[in-house]
Amino acid sequence: MEPNASDLGRPELYINRELSQLEFLRRVLAQATESDVPLLERLRFLCIASSVLDEFFEIRVAGLKQQEAYGSVQTGADNMSPSEQLRHINERVRDLVDAQYRTLKDDLLPLLDLQGIRFLTAQEWNGKQRAWIKRYFNRELLPIMSPMALDPAHPFPDVLNKGLAFIVTLEGKDAFGRNSGRAIVQAPRALPRVVRLPESCAASPNEFVLLSWVIEDHVSDLFPGMRATGCYPFRVTRNSDLFVDLEEVDDLLRAIEGELSSRRYGDAVRLEVDIDCPEDVSAFLAAQFGLGREEVFRCDGPVNLTRLATVPDLVDRPDLKYPGFMSGVPSQLRSDPNVFSAVRKGDILLHHPFESFAPVVEFLRQAAADPKVLAIRQTLYRTGTDSAVVQALVDAAQAGKEVLVVIELRARFDEEANIELAAHLQQAGAQVVYGVVGLKTHAKMSLVIRREGRSLRRYVHLGTGNYHMRTTRLYTDYGLLTCDADLGEDVQRLFAQLTSMGRQPRMRKIVQAPFALHSTMLELIEAEIAAARQGKPARIRAKMNSLIEPQVIQALYRASCAGVTVQLIVRGICALRPGIEGVSENIEVRSIVGRFLEHTRVFCFENAGDAKVFLSSADWMGRNFFNRVETCFPVEDASLRDRVIDEAFELYLADNTQAWRLQADGVYQRVKPGRSKRVSAQLSLLERLGG
């Protein structure tokens, strides 16, 4: 007997999303301990884990603390209250932070030292080095630092979100005959946190000191006539989620501009202090930020590991990094460099970074220069600085073409860059809109309208990832170049919807959020359930970044109970528990963590042997289904469909070197090759598709 909906809604069947995110960080941190990963890349993974943990506190923990403060009893499918989640998070994060610093001190620093990459503490400086560092301090730091003694006339200063600062304990009287006892010093933001020692005083080309060590060693110079008895680095993490009242706002751009400045000084959510900081000093700091002891984290090493992220780029040691690679170019574009004529011969699938993003840029460049092109429509969520995509749009606008750009101003942590981008495009003559108030425009699409003979033809690019040149080398994503008439018409309707807000006819092929994506995914899952009950082949395969939407999870549980094989590749957060008898024993969940960040969203339904394959900008999360404008589009060409199935599922399900398998208890276990041939999906794709 199949379970009913209430049985499948039991809280114990769901993993908490925040704890699942911390499990993902453990998998990232594990890369820093892998001997197969090049040494400087291991350091980079350590820094990535630290950076993601920062954002976790800035957004997720901050949100939970607000819910707790307001007395919210709202819970997710796992039924954990905000207070319960914060308690569990605190325990997990302490273990994670301890593991980060153990990895740095016990593994990475000794191995880097063996390679001549050294971080010299003050105790290790020789006379020559000490003299150079003294000059560096006097020349670069002393003129721009503003130490702040604490007394009634000098209250505790505002400390920037994630800024490096020091609390200094002092002895002696100041110039006015008073003894304040404590002071705050904030490190200048303009200076690098890692300083390379020059050849004149370095024993090897790669010897460094941390800016914090330079300040600690010279802090007494900031307080003439007094003696510093202690100098302890600290860092505060603040709530960085922007609040914009969408019902009251008249101008979204101005409202977001006004909120950006407050992000630096939001409510404190975490305090990191040096492990040697005395208890009374850390308690004083915590009180200044309105934090309790449970929100103070002691760091057995540099406060803010993320500062070490610059080291791999500073060190010229290719042997300690991933080997370089050249992205491939599809054969259609190698034989015909004109993107429009190549696409007219057939759809072109691009799998980044194994295949180059350059054809997408060239698509827009050729459109900008082509006198037959009348109009270009483009969505931009994250693009990066000096974007070739943006330059092509500017060129098109200046050439007199109708250019419309939908920019999402609320792309988290890219808001300021997107405001500048909007102004730049408008100055060039492009029409810029900011999507839909209350919904983020997360869809990735380009539309080029070209006159061919007496008719207009629409050329389209649809993708799973952003139009960001740098991340296309770091993230795995799919893109489709096509002139399919139905897809072209759907994309044009979508742009019209985003600008005019008018109701558009039903889409022919694109499945759109927030209107149809959720219901369509549920219908496709139900179709597999029906097929299984009829004894037909039934299988669901899906690859995404996150899976937490309860109704979809319940549908997958029902599919498992009906005998449908469910194979999920979920990079990060997964609230579904696989392997529970009578509920999810037919469900496998894998996570791949490797050189490239897995970012593709691919959904495949067996459909009784005639598989339906979709690519999408959306994960299976409530925000993607209901609070964003998203696209999900079919891959209909048989050869391309088979290619997606092979590349996105067959290879990744065979991976036994970078794969983790989720257990029913919410813990991930590393997949081991054993005696089997080693398979790395990412490496295989580099070899297969790369240039």
* Residues with a known catalytic role: 442
Residues whose CB is less than 8 angstroms from the CB of residue 109 and which lie 6 or more positions away in sequence, other chains included: 119
The SS3 of residue 629 is strand
Token digits of residue 675:
């005696």
Q: Which residues pair with 565 in a beta bridge?
A: 539
Peptide bond into 505 cis (omega under 30): no
The label of the residue with tokens 């979100």 reads 161
Distance CA 338, CA 334 (A): 9
Distance CA 542, CA 43 (A): 31
Peptide bond into 192 cis (omega under 30): no
User: For residues 451-485, b (16+ Cβ closer than 10 Å) or e, as one string?
Assistant: eeeeeebbbbbbbbbbbbbebbeebbbbbbbbbbe
Q: Which residues pair with 459 in a beta bridge?
A: 448
Distance CA 23, CA 572 (A): 8
The label of the residue with tokens 């909120």 reads 259
595 in Cβ contact with 665 (< 8 Å): no
Distance CA 255, CA 28 (A): 36
Kindly give the pairing relationship between strand 597-598 and strand 587-592: unpaired
Token digits of residue 132:
């150079």
591 in Cβ contact with 659 (< 8 Å): yes
The SS3 of residue 83 is helix
Residues whose CB is less than 8 angstroms from the CB of residue 468 and which lie 6 or more positions away in sequence, other chains included: 382, 383, 384, 387
If one counts every other C-beta atom within 10 angstroms of the C-beta of residue 52, the result is: 17
439 in Cβ contact with 424 (< 8 Å): no
What sign for the dihedral angle of Cα 25, 26, 32, 34? negative
Distance CA 13, CA 558 (A): 13
Distance CA 99, CA 79 (A): 29
314 in Cβ contact with 677 (< 8 Å): no
The SS3 of residue 168 is strand
Rg (CA), the chain: 27
Q: Where are the alpha helices (DSSP H) in 407-503?
A: 415-428, 485-500
Which residue pairs from 35-41 have beta carbons closer than 8 angstroms and sit at least 24 positions apart in sequence?
A: 36/657, 38/319, 38/320, 38/321, 38/322, 39/108, 39/111, 39/112, 39/115, 39/320, 40/311, 40/312, 40/315, 40/317, 40/320, 40/321, 41/312, 41/320, 41/321, 41/322, 41/595
Give phi and psi for 434, each to the nearest 5.
Answer: -115, 30
644 in Cβ contact with 635 (< 8 Å): yes
Distance CA 347, CA 150 (A): 67
**DSSP state, 508?**
S
Using alpha carbons, select from 451, 445, 405 the residue that is nearest to residue 427.
Answer: 405
